[in-house]
Amino acid sequence: MAEVDFRFGTGKPQVSFDLPLFHKWMFPDGTPWTYFYRKGEGYLLRFPGLGDFDVSADGLFIQAWPVPGVSEETIQHLYLNQVLPLALSKQGKWIFHAGAIDTPFGAVAFLGESGRGKSTLAASFAMSGYRFFTDDALLLEKLEDVYLVQPSHPSIRLWRDSQEALVGDDVQLAPPVQYTSKARLLSGGELGFCPESRTLRRMYFLGDGSSTDVCIERMTPSEAVMGLVKNSFLLDIEAPDAVASHFNRLADMAELQIYYRLDYPRSYDMLPAVRQAIIEHAAAEDA
Amino acid sequence: MNLSDKVTIPAQVMARTVGDETVILDLASGTYFGLDPVGARIWALMGEGRTLAEICATMLEEYEVEREQLEADVLRLAMELAERGLVVAAQ
């Protein structure tokens, strides 16, 4: 996935500075998660209490500065899941908040914000014989008129209850990290990873779980554009040319007839029906 | 805002047609707005510098709709777009 020179620096306390803050990500409870600063031509991303990351203007170089006492695994995790997708957006790559799995009909992606069930769906499919590409950061590449799903990091992050319900304990785990109790399950055994690129077949935008049954509805093109925008990574949201280019590319992509809303009750018992509905839907030529 | 007004589209606002719909983006604020086919037609006529009344007159020729209903819909959309900074009222 990555064409980035990534380096670890020595531990460094986070001190306040006068760099221009241009964006921030917050948790739903208002706790800050990521601060975005301009630093020279490039950027500095600060994860309070965890570490700082310098990102070059072209997204090709990243330097991590862990807060003393923060583990290397934690910094690697932040790099893979948060910083790298943003840096890749500076390289002009297409990165989405999405999980994706391989089906006989092509790759199927599930888009949605945290908590919508992307990783659970990816794990559920992977344990049923459909290999996964990613559980959270989907990289697409365009080849003429075809969009190719690229493999990402071969791991899936799950809460403990999802791991117990879907995978069990017979799986290799990455070392724990310091900002989430989610386990990172490494691919292998029944948890199959797809290491090759595949043509994108469908994109499903995950609902909030209020549906009483499995529900799949086609989205209009404008809904698709706004959904793609909302679920895409873009580091510099203040650069008009970059935002305009991003918008135009997503609008082009929205012309495809592959976008649907997907909702279902969030219950592990429902997952077999959800998988079946998605596979049947992905197989249909005129869905 | 009233029917004799024109609206202008600020320089930082861009729009793209997708299918028969339109998506509008304000590059300054990051605001996005989607228009269905009828809204997309109104937007296109706004971009030609017509007054809202002229837009209604054109659309009455193109759609089977009551004038009163159409005028209310055009005014409502113009005001919603103005509230979001996607158009600016001009005399």
| CB pair distance less than 8 Å for A223 and B34 | yes
Chain A positions in Cβ-Cβ contact with residue B27 (cut-off 8 Å): 240, 243-244
The amino acid occupying position A208 is: D
Across all residues in chain B, what is the average pLDDT? 92
Among A160-174, A179-193, B23-37, B70-84, name the most confident range: B70-84
| CA distances for A207 relative to A98, A180, A214, B13, angstroms | 13, 24, 11, 29
| CB pair distance less than 8 Å for A247 and B14 | yes
Tell me, yes or no, if B11 comes closer than 8 A to chain A by beta carbon.
Answer: no
Answer whether A204's CB lies under 8 Å from A278's CB.
yes
| CB pair distance less than 8 Å for A243 and B32 | no
Tell me: ipTM over 0.85.
no
Answer whether A120's CB lies under 8 Å from A151's CB.
no
The amino acid occupying position B86 is: L
Which residues 44-83 of chain B have a CB within 8 Å of chain A? none
In this predicted structure, the answer to whether residue B59 has a pLDDT above a threshold of 90 is yes
The amino acid occupying position B8 is: T
**Domain at A94-283: CATH code:** 3.40.50
For residue B16, give both structure tokens: 């793209």
Answer whether A81's CB lies under 8 Å from A50's CB.
no
The amino acid occupying position B45 is: L
pLDDT band of B31, cuts 50, 70, 90: confident
For residue A224, give both structure tokens: 């698709």
| CB pair distance less than 8 Å for B25 and A223 | no
Domain boundaries, chain A: 5-90, 94-283
| CB pair distance less than 8 Å for A225 and B19 | no
| CB pair distance less than 8 Å for A222 and B30 | no
The Cα B10–Cα A88 span in angstroms is: 31
| CB pair distance less than 8 Å for A240 and B34 | no
Q: Report the C-alpha dihedral over residues B21, B63, B72, B90, rounded to 10 degrees.
A: 70
Which residues 231-270 of chain A have a CB within 8 Å of chain B? 237, 240, 243-244, 247-248, 251, 254-255
Q: What is the pTM of this model?
A: 0.86
Each of the 287 residues of chain A gets a pLDDT tens digit; together they read 558 999 999 899 999 989 999 989 888 788 999 999 999 999 999 999 999 999 999 999 999 999 999 999 899 989 988 999 999 999 988 999 999 999 999 999 999 988 899 999 999 999 999 999 999 899 999 988 899 999 988 999 888 888 888 888 778 888 878 778 788 888 988 889 999 999 999 999 999 999 999 999 999 988 999 899 989 998 988 788 888 888 899 999 998 989 999 999 999 999 999 999 999 999 997 66
Task: Return the DSSP state at A173.
Answer: B
Tell me, yes or no, if A226 comes closer than 8 A to chain B by beta carbon.
Answer: yes
Q: What is the mean pLDDT of residues B1-26?
A: 90
Distance of CA A102 to the CA centre of its chain: 16
Task: Return the DSSP state at B49.
Answer: T
Beta bridge partners of A106: A103
Tell me, yes or no, if B25 comes closer than 8 A to chain A by beta carbon.
Answer: yes
Residue the block writes with tokens 């009483």: A212
